[in-house]
Amino acid sequence: MKKVWIKKTKSFKSVSQFDIDYYLSMSPSERLDTMQLLREMVFKIKKGLKYERARKGLRRVIKIIQ
């Protein structure tokens, strides 16, 4: 069973800061894995030529970073 956690805040600014802190606490490889997982989820949801081109474009950006 997957665990789900919720962070309750009083403003959008504090949510943004929480997100930033959360992702900065991850290792670079964990952040890339998360990004890849999200990309695959979007591709499965919205199949089509437009999204296939976006996948290839993002892949080139990752190669430049490496």
Mean pLDDT across 13-34: 90
Domain that holds residue 49: 12-65
Tell me how crowded residue 58 is: count the other CB atoms within 10 A of its CB: 13
Residue 9: its pLDDT value, please? 83
Report if residue 46 sits inside a domain.
Answer: yes
Report if residue 21 sits inside a domain.
Answer: yes
Report the number of distinct structural domains present in the chain: 1
Question: Does residue 26 have a pLDDT over 70?
Answer: yes
Report if residue 5 sits inside a domain.
Answer: no
Mean pLDDT across 42-46: 77
Report if residue 51 sits inside a domain.
Answer: yes
Mean pLDDT across 1-24: 85
Q: What is the DSSP letter of 5?
A: -
Report if residue 35 sits inside a domain.
Answer: yes
Residue 24: its pLDDT value, please? 92
Report if residue 3 sits inside a domain.
Answer: no
